[in-house]
Structure 1
Amino acid sequence: MKRNDTQQARLKLWRERVIAHTQTLVAKAGHLTGRKLPLPAVHFDLRGQTAGQLRIEPGGQARIRYNAALLLRYEENFVARTVPHEVAHYAAFLCYGRRIKPHGPEWQQLVQALGGDRARCHEYDTEGLRARRTRWFAYHCRCGEHALSSIRHNRICRGTRYLCRRCGEPLRAGPALHCSTPDP
């Protein structure tokens, strides 16, 4: 068996463990809160230095994302620390809504009851993990040029309008940029 095949087999095993532990903790959180919590979708598509993330899609569908590279590095520790952390975010969102602080008292109570710790960030070594680099794009208005991140640039391409804080004019892409939708 090649090294890559062995790594894929290990990843498959640990993914199954994470999914099973996520399901177990969602059931436990439901019992603790007195609610029937639906199971969130679980993905292993997170990259960079973040170990886990809860995403709530526009339609309300919840998705917990885990970092497969960190899972392979830290295996049991990842399952014991990251899974309760993300499930607590999920349960806190379903029980208290969006208006609570992400690591506030409601979340802290849940994460502790689920067997996790209340630390906001992990202490995993992320050396060598590729983090996404933010690209910057030139936009302009009547009063000058502005640098917008790729996140805002993509939102503009999907139709969001941003106004200059000084002159109030809509920001427009520089001559070298093309969006799939016309400028507002």
Structure 2
Amino acid sequence: MLNPLSGSVDNPNWVETKFKKQFPAQFDYLVDYIKQRASSNVKLLRSGDKAPNFALVDANDSLITLSQYKGQVVYLSFWFTTCGGCLQEMPYENKLVEQFKGKPVKIVSICIGTPGAADAQQLPKWKAVSKRFGLKTIDLYANRAWTKTLSEKYIVSTYPHYVLIGADGTIIENFADRPSQGVVAKIENALTAGSN
């Protein structure tokens, strides 16, 4: 049986579709509270809002900003090196990169490091995991300050966390589907919308 709390109670899409089905009627009050909490998260960063910009380093120590991809659909992935769910998605992220090669789509992975590891170990651990999975995404690293900022701006409380951003630089969906859950159709829709 699926663990009823295996999704994110901060993810309004998951709460609406999967979470409610897991509980008997006497827990409706709990379900209502969690739905209210999740919907308040959506209000913080809604569809149509401008996506918060960032300036992060890649493995070559180049500075990459979100704004440099204006005019392209961007699919953001927030992860950390010891997150099992994050690592499971990496092959699917690589498939997305291949699938949208040559199209105005960027798959961007943002690693927030390794919780509990010493500062000197953060970058080497990130690079080791990226190399192990042969990550084909635009692979970025967020230091502690950027992690705090991005967690607040994108309402990231569980990992992996995905965000789909339109070619106009606005949010299509925060708490977007994982690559393994068939986000392809949504990316294709965003491409179609961006070319109109």
Same structural fold, with TM-score higher than 0.5 when normalized by the shorter chain = no
- The structure showing larger relative contact order (alpha-carbon pairs under 8 Å, at least 6 residues apart) is 2
| TM-score between both structures, scaled by the size of structure 2 | 0.24
| TM-score between both structures, scaled by the size of structure 1 | 0.26
CA radius of gyration, larger in: 1
